[in-house]
Structure 1
Amino acid sequence: MATTDHHDITGTAGAAALNRAFQRATETTSECPLFTDPYAPMFVDAAIQRGWRPPSGELAERLRALSDYTAARTKYCDEFLIAAGAVAITQAVLVGSGLDARAWRLPWLADSVVFDIDCPEILEFKRATLTACRAQPAARYVGVPIDPQSDWSAGLRGAGFDPSLPTAWCTEELLARLPPDALGSLLDRIRSLSAPSSRVAVEALPDQRAGLVDRLRQQGWAVTVTPITELLVRYRRVAREGVDHASAPSVLVEGRLRG
């Protein structure tokens, strides 16, 4: 497991999660949001009370420029999880989801369970903030406080994960944080825990696309690739001036195992 300061949400991993929460809060309060995340402003406010400073200067401009991209990615992953529920997949694993409170804000089936794998300081901050706000999850929520870049298989099983059940796996932006040689291990880990009819959604960097798709197909997944540019058109968003979306992490990949 990577070494982190488990008490400081403003550390490296926590700061990145807070920046994403800031983006989701901004989208939620926009004129025509792609999604609604009422918990994102709560995380931002709680972090400010702990001394965190919202993005400013060049970082704020960069996040603002990427706001349509980030919103489209969030919407895509939301729809992926909702679609999995529509075919009676009631077990979901979110790997490296940061401060996105999907277990609280999405419409889950009554018997659904959501496992959330992320760094201990992120999950503790999420738990403390939502508890203070008296927020209740819409599914059974199980936090798995393990660095998502490490081998979390045993920890996930120990938390009650059932590998005999179909699972919806969502990694969103995790691959952008992984060392190049860790991609195969992550996909192998997910595949080893996936029952028939499982699904996986992965965001990939452009230079990871070919290897990612090939690996998934070799493992038996039926693969669908969606470029971010296609999502921007689908959701009626446009690339903002000064942002080259072709050079951004621009491919979202879904895999499905046959039942």
Structure 2
Amino acid sequence: MSTATLDKGKGADRGPVDSAENSASHLITATFRIRRFNPEVSAEASWEDFRIEIDPKERVLDALHQIKWEVDGTLTFRRSCAHGICGSDAMRINGRNRLACKTLIKDINPDKPITVEAIKGLTVLKDLVVDMDPFFQAYRDVMPFLVTTGNEPTRERLQSAEDRERFDDTTKCILCAACTSSCPVFWNDGQYFGPAAIVNAHRFIFDSRDEAGEQRLEILNDKDGVWRCRTTFNCTDACPRGIEVTKAIQEVKRALITRRF
């Protein structure tokens, strides 16, 4: 295991001494232990430590930026909005699936090395980047769009507040894959649709405006569908949006049995 260190230094070009001391007084030295993988260099992954000075109120994503921009430019990870909306920076931080942009350093015990690695169950392409194609294929397979028949309406499709509330929770999904990649069934068998796909099917199955609920239920009635769920609640615990994923899966199972939705 190798270690890289970023030293801010105290040279004469820092600017006013008092200002520099004030700005540095709240910094801590934290160690980030990152699981590195580069198929062009080695077939095996390895851990590498990075010691940096950082404000504990900053996010893990800020630490990754600092490491990439100031220590090792080869560090590879995904991120886009950096505000918990795009879902692209899902990773395992201290053994739990989280969004790096929503995880504060002070909340994950910076007194010990903070481990960062790619999410499980999907092929690692490089460092913290995984192949999301199987995840998005499962999402596409459940028909995540409104299906209706008849002529195109000339006004919006009206829906009561009660009907909208029925599937409100599952509209919050940002497709980060944190739930799916926390599922032991998915780890062992990548053919399983996974929690995220079922959540997005739920969003339309229970939409009163949609007419393809039966079709989606038959898709999820497959051997790799909703019945593979073992109700471990890992998915609910991992969801950064607070979706009751396990509850949604159970509601889909109930709809398959009763054909009421």
Larger radius of gyration: 2
Instruction: Please tell me the TM-score bracket, short chain as reference.
Output: under 0.3
Comparing both chains, which one has the higher relative contact order based on Cα–Cα distances under 8 Å and sequence gaps of 6 or more?
1
Comparing both structures, which one devotes a greater share of its residues to helix? Answer: 1
